[in-house]
Structure 1
Amino acid sequence: MNKPISEFIEKYYLHFNAATVVDAAKAYEEQLNKGSKMLVSLAGAMSTAELGKIFAEMIRQDKVQIVSCTGANLEEDIMNLVAHSHYRRVPHYRDLTPKEEWELLEGGLNRVTDTCIPEEEAFRRLQKHIFKIWKDAEDNGERLFPHEFMYRMLNSGVLEQYYEIDSKNSWMLAAAEKNLPIVVPGWEDSTMGNIFASYVIKGELKASTMKSGIEYMAFLADWYTENSKEGIGFFQIGGGIAGDFPICVVPMLYQDLERTDTPFWNYFCQISDSTTSYGSYSGAVPNEKITWGKLDIDTPKFIIESDATIVAPLIFAYLLGM
């Protein structure tokens, strides 16, 4: 079988960060081959970077069993699905003046590095549909997690009229079709989280309709306990809460619940541009996680100090045999 990407990185990625890319990809593959499961965490703006083009296939081929992501990544994949043609790329973003940034705002364009998300076609298009789903659930006495509401919206078909990309390139659609478990810590700081809060403040929705972060941790604790017999790996794209939240489930189970038979994460890889010496948890070397009861002495550990938008697709391509 012709595998140009896999063969290329094995031939040329021989040292430093490049070699770690290959080592981490091979160890990921070994995890799956021995029956272990894998959590993938998505920080930053991976959905706006269109990681869904390859991550959706990872989900379809069972290369990931659970996702932890920011609220932004949860919603921005769907925004790209329904409003892609209205996005504007700004390659010269480093040269923009404050006045030019203001003009983008007035034009309803919210910038993420070199890409502007359209306010009306993305945020507001989702808002009118998700509000109805929130309200209907509340009226029926239901409480759901943020991702479950998104799944309900996708599975209802109300957005199909707006699709502007091939649906196979949406990782959220792939996840919804499989009912893939997702954890979304800190969802409240996303656009949809802000919108939900606005309805609560106006008295149109109850805060309790949305399940909380504590409930997400309890859900993750149950999922980890039920799925860790053959081990669970942790593949972290970027830093922040998307990674910090789920990795803590192990010490919580082991130390706080005193379930001393809880296994540690049995694979760890982080693609990061954070620096250790600044004291950031996202920049901490994997060995520091041993002291927090997250990783074992013998857990395979990899840290790739590079750009996730470049590295993650390469590793996924390797795993997909491309």
Structure 2
Amino acid sequence: MSGPISQFIDRHYRHFNAAALKDAADAYTAHLASGGSMLVTLAGAMSTAELGCSLAEMIRQGKVTGICCTGANLEEDVFNLVAHDHYVRLPDYRDLTPADEQGLLDRHLNRVTDTCIPEHEAMRRIESAVLDRWVQHDRDGTPLFPHEFMYEILLSGVLAESYQIDPKDSWMMAAAERKLPMIVPGWEDSTLGNMYAGHCISGDVKNVHTVRTGIEYMMRLADWYQELAPTSSIGFFQIGGGIAGDFPICVVPMLHQDLQRPEVPLWGYFCQISDSTTSYGSYSGAVPNEKITWGKLGIDTPKFIIESDATIVAPLMFARILGW
């Protein structure tokens, strides 16, 4: 039986982007019901938008098979976990002057739209915990991927005394507990990535490859896809644009064209949530039908575009998929 959110969607979401939201959510559910799997990609600042309030339950209920996210989303969910009470919300952020922005910097508050992340309580607290792991694995010669370092820290309980939200609302905690497969392309373009570079330069970390990145992530993604696809059609649920979506969707044409493995199935479902109009200078222009020409999707692949704010759409879709 569906809950009140799903009933509201049934009653009111009948046309345009609202109908696309409903159709895409129901197709997601049907894909899983038929034995399919789902890769969810997270761009933007969805963790700071506290998507964990719904995504964590999606992970716990097995409705997410893997995640590809930016380095920012990887770390910002954990920042929120340990420093939520120190975040500063600015409802009138559109009225800020350059002097106002400088004032925030002077207070060590880093703004993400209407929300400021506190540097000392969030970033430096996590840096201390992760640096210990970087140094230890560097000494032991046991490199890990960025998400594996975070899983290790979360599962160790070293941060537990610092939690300022219910850990059930942390999607990273849910992912760590399930050891969810994860891909984090371009991790270097993140706060912790910058910190890691600094510690390599200063000599705290001797081997830059102690944190595994980029090409190795694609190789792991290729292994994961090939192991899973023969028995479970893999869907692609893309939140936002950029590298979080563009990197993983390319694994199929790579397997087909570069490794000459045409038997590998195409992605079996596709949905993109973005308020960025596809064009030459905006989001890359690769609407779902165009992806057919790149060997990513097929003619019959269920395809959906929801042109709206992902911070509004994604929680509603997850609520419907969860039956709320």
Question: How far apart, in 2, do the equivalents of 1:72 and 1:244 lie?
Answer: 16
Distance 2:155 2:321 in 1: 28
Q: CA separation in 1, counterparts of 2:36 and 2:12?
A: 29
Matched, 1:248 2:255: no
Q: How does 1:120-269 map to 2 (within 5 A)?
A: 120-205=120-205, 206-229=207-230, 230-269=232-271
Equivalenced residues, count: 322
Letter in structure 1 aligned against 2:48:
T
Q: Per-residue deviation at 1:280?
A: 4.3
Among 295, 306, 309, the alignment partner of 1:307 is 309
Give the distance between the partners of 2:118 and 2:178, measured in 1 at CA.
29
Task: State the SS of the aligned residue for 2:41.
Answer: strand
**What amino acid is the match of 1:307?**
D
For 1:219, the aligned partner's letter is R
Question: In 2, distance between residues paired with 1:219 and 1:302?
Answer: 27
Contact 1:272/1:282 (<8 A) preserved: no
TM-score normalised to the size of structure 2? 0.98
Asked if the contact 1:253/1:259 (under 8 Å) is kept, the reply is yes
SS where residue 199 of structure 1 aligns?
Answer: helix
Q: Secondary structure at the match of 2:172?
A: helix
Which aligned pairs between 1:31-46 and structure 2 lie closer than 5 A?
31-46=31-46
Offset of residue 281 of structure 1? 4.8
Q: Quick one: distance in 2 between partners of 1:78 and 1:125?
A: 10
Residue 279 (structure 1) shift: 4.9
Matches of 2:29 and 2:244, distance apart in 1: 22
* Identical-residue share of aligned pairs (%): 67
Conserved in 2, the CA contact under 8 Å of 1:41 and 1:69? yes
The one-letter amino acid paired with 2:288 is P
TM-score using structure 1 length: 0.98
Residue 292 of structure 1: aligned partner? 294
Amino acid in structure 1 at the alignment position of 2:113: T
Deviation at 1:179, TM superposition (A): 0.4
Say if 2:291 and 2:297, in contact at 8 Å, map to a contact too. yes
SS at 1:188 equivalent: coil
Q: Is the 8 A contact 2:85 2:164 kept in 1?
A: yes
Does the 8 Å contact 1:272/1:283 carry over to 2? Answer: no
- Map of 1:53 onto structure 2: 53
SS in 1 for 2:300: coil
Name 1:272's counterpart in structure 2: 274
2:49 match: secondary structure: coil
Q: Cα RMSD between the aligned structures?
A: 0.9
Worse-matched range after superposition: 271-280 or 255-264: 271-280
Which residue does the alignment assign to 1:72?
72
For the residues of structure 1 that align with 2:144 and 2:137, how far apart are their CA atoms? 8
Task: Give the CA deviation at 1:212.
Answer: 2.0
Cα offsets for 1:192-236 (capped at 9, x unmatched): 000000011112212110112100000000000001122100000
CA contact (8 A) 2:277 2:283 kept: no
Determine helix, strand or coil for the equivalent of 2:297: coil
Shift of residue 276, structure 1, vs aligned partner: 2.0
Alpha-carbon distance between aligned partners in 2 of 1:279 and 1:198, rounded to the nearest angstrom: 33
Partner amino acid for 1:247? Answer: I
**Match for residue 91 of structure 1?**
91
Deviation at 1:10, TM superposition (A): 1.3
Which 5+ residue runs of structure 1 have no aligned equivalent? Answer: none
- How big is the shift at 1:277? 2.9
Q: Distance in 2 between matches of 1:58 and 1:214?
A: 28
Offset from partner CA, 1:278-298 (integer Å, 9 cap, x none): 354544320010011100010
- Distance (whole Å) between structure 1 residues aligned to residue 273 and residue 146 of structure 2: 26
Q: Provide the secondary structure at the position in 2 that maps to 1:234.
A: strand
